[in-house]
Amino acid sequence: MKRIFVTRKLVGDAQLLLKKKGFHVNIYNEDHPIPKQELIKRVKDVDALINHVTDKIDKEVIDSMKKCKVIANCAVGYNNIDVEYANSKGIVVTNTPNVLTDSTADIAVSLVLACARRLHEGEEMMRTGKFSGYKPHLLLGIELKGKKVGIIGAGEIGFATAKRLKAFGTEIIYFNRSRKEKFESELSAKRVTLNYLLKSSDIISVHLPSTKETFHILNKTNLKLIKKRAVLVNTSRGEIVDEKFLIEMLKKKKIFAAGFDVYEGEPNVDPELFKLENVFLLPHIGSATIEARTAIAELCVKNVIAVLSGKKAITPVKAN
């Protein structure tokens, strides 16, 4: 009987499909990520692993797998897995593109609106009894209509975010290593350099994968180019932005506000962020809708079934 290990209970009924197919499914049923040594023990004799972004699947973990054929990552980003090494050992790695595009774009737009209109400050004011009635100068924010939106990373999520923001009456520009026809024909968006984007955008939304090349692609040098009245949101990976420097800019009000769904050094969050009023903080919930997380689980399971039945994986990834 083929054995599958799941590092955390999946949303929906996808696990049942594995059982119906006659696989033996073992789940780490705790409400925290599995400790590395425990993971190493549990994957020794599995034929497939279904894991989450919180699991680091490095050389040591991969070396402990004696017969694994497929690692199915419950996420679109797969920087948590040493894909090159897994592939070199004959293990297929899969991710979950497309199924979480809309949920993540919804969160990116939510962050933009929350930051631009200072929603968290308003909410806190209400809950702490500080609202004393309408005031003409209370919590003045930024209107989206007529503003320039800079999308960094023009993949599916970047596109879905741009499309939503375009509907607010904004102009879209994008930075990407290759031209994206869809951005240009459907959104009349122009491809620009990163520096130009940072200098001229009122709203900046980050959608890059985390790789060696994108690590701190937003850094001390180019973050300084951002307009004082701009909003920056990140729903991709924390390592893309030099978080410490961005915090300094936020402290000195060199940027209007920033919205975070991801952090450098997750699950740790820089405590300085909690002291700032001009940030809106979310706990990595880009794909956290019932629809997306159910579809993610189904896609992972289907990838596992495909590979273990000797077929091609549906959404395999290659090392970046």
CB of 194 vs ligand GLV, minimal distance in Å: 22
Q: What's 10's DSSP letter?
A: P
Contact between 187 and 206 (Cβ < 8 Å) = no
Both structure tokens of 23: 């696989």
CB of 69 vs ligand GLV, minimal distance in Å: 22
- Catalytic-role residue among 237, 243, 264, 298: 237
Contact between 33 and 266 (Cβ < 8 Å) = no
List the x/- string, 283-302, binding to ligand GLV by CB under 6 A. ---xx---------------
75 interacts with ligand GLV by CB under 6 A: yes
158 interacts with ligand GLV by CB under 6 A: no
- Contact with ligand GLV (CB under 6 A): which of 53, 108, 115, 152? 53
Q: Is 237 a catalytic residue?
A: yes
Span 228-287, contacts to ligand GLV by CB under 6 A: 286-287
Please list the helix, strand and coil fractions of the chain in percent, rounded to the nearest 5, in that order: 35, 15, 50
Residue that is written with structure tokens 């989206």 in the block: 144
77 interacts with ligand GLV by CB under 6 A: yes
Q: Is 3 a catalytic residue?
A: no
Give the Cα separation of 73 and 93 in Å (integer): 7
Q: Is 284 a catalytic residue?
A: yes
Q: Which stretch, 3-11, 72-80, 246-254, 312-320, contacts ligand GLV (CB under 6 A)? A: 72-80
- Contact with ligand GLV (CB under 6 A): which of 18, 34, 100, 149? 100
Give the Cα separation of 239 and 264 in Å (integer): 5
Q: What's 260's DSSP letter?
A: E
Give the Cα separation of 314 and 304 in Å (integer): 9
CA angle centred on 56, ends 23 and 235, rounded to 5°: 105
Decide whether 100 or 151 has the Cβ nearer to ligand GLV.
100
Binding site for ligand GLV (CB under 6 A): 53, 75-77, 100, 286-287
Which residues are identified as catalytic? 237, 266, 284
